[in-house]
Structure 1
Amino acid sequence: MRRITRRELLQATGGGAAVAKTGGLAAILATGRAPAYAQTTQIHWLKWNDFVPAGDQLLRRQLLGEAEKALGIKINLETIGLNDLQARVTAAIQSQSGADITMAFNNNAQLYAESCVDVSDVCEELAASQGGFYDLAKAQSHDGRKWVAVPYCIIGAMVAYRKSWFDEIGVTTFPETWEAYREAGRKLKARGRPIGQSLGHTVGDAPAFCYPLMWSFGGREVEADGKTVKLNSKETIESVKFMTAFWKEAHDEGGLAWDDSNNNRAFLSGTISSTLNGASIYIEALRKPDQYKTDSGAQMRTDILHAPLPRGAHGQFGVHPFQNHMVMGYSKNQKAAKEFLRWFHSPAVYEKWFVVQKGFATGPTRSWENHKVWDEDPVMAPYRVAGRLGLVYGHAGPAGQKAAEVLSKYIIVDMYAKAVQGMSAEDAVKWAEAEVKKVYGTGA
């Protein structure tokens, strides 16, 4: 853009005194050239590599360009592996430099509440216009005083399973109880088709499996007061004993070292029969129907169904991985970052991203339950109400900093991992309770 000189400006406005009048602005517009402003504000946005590649492709090819035109803000998007996010934000806070907007998973934003900008104005505006946030979203993004992050999406965690393989062992509907799932898994593993599950240090699948299993047996890390640690109980020990047998009888035992992508690859290659996952396995099979085939040569997408985790004696539970975005306190572009998040979550813009997700990620506000995308594919129907049904890590206590720390240290996941590797259930639970007490400040 050519810079307008002072002489040209004065000529266009009829003299310096006219600049202050409305006619001066009209004259500037009449020249057909915008005044030369300071360099366009640039925002550094750090997020995960989307498990639905079309999501990131849409951002880079279309939406970020639209944002620059609409807001005059250039967005520099950086994507990294899911398990690398927490290390990056920790390092950025320590150095007081880094991305302006950073994605957080589950309740991790609570760990950085003092280092985040108050985004209550953005969140309250979105909640008022879109039917309100799910309790799941608010619990993980609001620290009791303010919104510390803007909710981004909820990723439903359901069991993806091969329908024909379950049919072959006489299981025509997905098992409703843990014992029935264990029995089905035992038969499937005997046929070389084990269940696949991560028990490693990975953000999504491992904790999303272990916590609901514990809750369904009646175990919990802390009471509702958020202070009384209650992990070492008969109920928790029973859940660990169950998992130890379930693991050996029904699972691919290599899952101890899996991250959130290993089970996707194993399922699509036909080496596991079921796994807890977002809808990314099914969406990948839809995306490449001729690449992923069943034993009979049919497209694998026709043999995939979804179901919630089974129930135990104390109920049926689920955790649905959650994402939000923090505007960092060290950022020099806080106002622009908030404006971008407000713009991105406006219905007209967010819908474009939501549609390409095909149900893998659903909106954090209740209005998205009613979108027509849910009527287009019945295989995706179980994910529709994930935001309404999911519990938060730390249940029955609040999803605050202490619960986030227990999660980030993988204490509950490691409790099960230690047991399946040979530690007694009693010792594994005793170890985990001592670690949880350190976090909650109640001693070992």
Structure 2
Amino acid sequence: MDASRRHDEVPSGLREGNRMAGLTRRDTLLSGTAALIGAATLPLIGAHAADLDVPTADVKSPDFKAESGATLRVLRPAKFVDPDEVLFRANTKKFSDQTGIPVRVDFVGWEDVQPQTAVAANTGAGPDIIIGFGSAPQIYANKLIQMNDLAEYLGAKYGGWHQLAQIYSCRWGTQDWLAIPMGGSGGASVYRVSWLKEAGYDSIPNDHAGFLEMATKLKKNNHPIGFALGHAVGDGNGFANWLLWSFGASLTDEKGKVSLDSKETIAALNYARELYPQMIEGTLSWGDPSNNKAFAAGDISLTFNGVSIYYVAKNSSDPKLQAIAADTNHQVPPLGMAKKSPSSSLVVNAMAFRHTKYPNACKEYLRFMMEAPQYAPWLAGCLGYWSNSLKAYGKMAFWDADPKLKPYIDSMDTPYYDSYKGPISAASSAVAANYTLVDMFASVATGNATPEAAVKTAARQAARYLKG
């Protein structure tokens, strides 16, 4: 999903030298862990050992002849796990060493990516490549270099692209590639194993009724669940979308007309009203760090999140957090009425802008970064924080090294996205950025509005953005 809603706010610690600023969803891993990861994965970059770990087809590479005197500037989101930057920079240096093309990579705060992308697109100046968030290629489609040749080559060699990668990166309604999707940050159910067993469960029920019954038992045992119903960029919108999609509802229809006022949405709202009393108090004011902190404190038994809660706890020197990690597991969010996991990923898309003087060098750089000797160690080093956009990388051995990572493998194998089921646009992104769905569910959960009144209010708000 796009940067307007699916990313977390950058902790102040990140702006101040990447110091830990608390257990936020996309916090940097503990320095000791990061050092261990870096030490373990960096040798792979030189040895190309990762080639053996990825099943590939014998496909001829496109001949991207870089322009004479080419230099590149790349802008991308700042790290939230250390190996992301360490390995990305190492791969970039390797590219420069092999090609002689200097590449400058700027890592900027997540909240700065979208405005800087807009400036580059509107002024026709700035970075040659921007690795932006989900919807950006659709918004700036006419400013981008088409990537069909590169995308088709990578898809043919690495087992094809996951569905979400194509939804965000192809020009809407076509097979014309506007960007190269490098990966996505997905979410899963994060839960305490012993507390579920205490309530009589070995795993999380996949149906709504079973999930509600489990939540009720957990609350009775003083282990409530916790989901953000406040203006949390990632967690609030993610929970609202799960409620909507798992009941078969959608923001828009295939043509982009607001379809929110439906019996499916009413059912989702009624369910939210029943689920809310099983939650810990205070979720109406939760921001993105809140569920992480509550889980790490032992205050909640279950939430939706990425891998960061588990890994920060697992690699902590605090015995209490280590014990929580040992008692933590992950599962795909309950399907409800959906056929595939009713959740999405924050997709990062590499876009080459038409203002670049070196379009071939841009494509060659992106090809290099997506090939197994570079991409595989980067993916493994991030330990599931980024999930793979190309299917072959889901067969890498590191996913099996810790079974608790497995729910994140197919995070991009989903048909769900911000403006599901309609076209992606700046207007559809604005609906999410203004928490239209979150506020709708929160108003019903607290009894401040009936489902019928809340859905009509939300539908009117969405229509104001989408009318054009």
| TM-score category (smaller protein) | 0.7 to 0.9
**Separation in structure 2 between the aligned mates of residue 84 and residue 192 of structure 1, nearest angstrom:** 41
> Residue 208 of structure 1 corresponds to which residue in structure 2?
238
| Letter of the structure 2 residue corresponding to residue 387 of structure 1 | M
Q: Verify: 1:434 aligned to 2:463, yes or no.
A: no
**How many aligned positions are there?**
398
State how 1:107-122 maps to structure 2 within 5 Å: 107-122=135-150
Off by >6 Å, runs of 4+ in structure 1: 37-40
**Separation in structure 2 between the aligned mates of residue 413 and residue 104 of structure 1, nearest angstrom:** 24
The match for 1:247 among 276, 282, 291 is 276
- Call closer, same or farther: CA 1:301–1:181 in 2, change over 3 Å: same
Q: Verify: 1:184 aligned to 2:214, yes or no.
A: yes
Cα shift readout 1:199-231 (whole Å, capped 9, x = no counterpart): 44455333332223212223222223x244321
Kept in 2, the 8 Å contact 1:289–1:301? The answer is no
**Separation in structure 1 between the aligned mates of residue 296 and residue 105 of structure 2, nearest angstrom:** 29
Cα shift readout 1:286-312 (whole Å, capped 9, x = no counterpart): 3x2433625xxx532211111122233
State how 1:250-289 maps to structure 2 within 5 Å: 250-254=279-283, 256-259=285-288, 261-286=289-314, 288-289=315-316
- Call closer, same or farther: CA 1:198–1:113 in 2, change over 3 Å: farther
> Residue 310 of structure 1 corresponds to which residue in structure 2?
334
Q: Verify: 1:416 aligned to 2:444, yes or no.
A: no
**Separation in structure 1 between the aligned mates of residue 439 and residue 353 of structure 2, nearest angstrom:** 31
> Residue 249 of structure 2 corresponds to which residue in structure 1?
219
Q: Verify: 1:78 aligned to 2:76, yes or no.
A: no
Give me the identity figure in percent: 29
Q: CA RMSD in A?
A: 2.9
Cα shift readout 1:404-444 (whole Å, capped 9, x = no counterpart): 454444432332234345233222211221233234438xx
Unaligned runs of 5+ in 1: 1-36
> Residue 326 of structure 1 corresponds to which residue in structure 2?
351
Kept in 1, the 8 Å contact 2:76–2:132? The answer is no
> Residue 20 of structure 1 corresponds to which residue in structure 2?
none
**Separation in structure 1 between the aligned mates of residue 72 and residue 409 of structure 2, nearest angstrom:** 35
State how 1:33-432 maps to structure 2 within 5 Å: 41-50=71-80, 52-60=81-89, 62-143=90-171, 144-145=173-174, 146-189=176-219, 193-224=223-254, 226-254=255-283, 256-259=285-288, 261-286=289-314, 288-291=315-318, 293=320, 299-313=323-337, 317-321=341-345, 322-399=347-424, 403-420=428-445, 422-432=448-458
**Separation in structure 2 between the aligned mates of residue 332 and residue 206 of structure 1, nearest angstrom:** 41
**Separation in structure 1 between the aligned mates of residue 230 and residue 150 of structure 2, nearest angstrom:** 36
Work out which structure has the larger RCO, using CA pairs closer than 8 Å and 6 or more positions apart in sequence: 2
TM-score by length of 2: 0.76
Structure 1 residue 355: deviation in Å? Answer: 1.2
Structure 1 residue 234: deviation in Å? Answer: 1.9
Structure 1 residue 356: deviation in Å? Answer: 0.7
Unaligned runs of 5+ in 2: 1-66
- Call closer, same or farther: CA 1:302–1:440 in 2, change over 3 Å: same
TM-score by length of 1: 0.80
Kept in 2, the 8 Å contact 1:217–1:238? The answer is yes
- Call closer, same or farther: CA 1:94–1:58 in 2, change over 3 Å: same
**Separation in structure 2 between the aligned mates of residue 435 and residue 211 of structure 1, nearest angstrom:** 16
Q: Greater shift after overlay, 95-104 or 269-278?
A: 95-104
Kept in 1, the 8 Å contact 2:244–2:268? The answer is yes
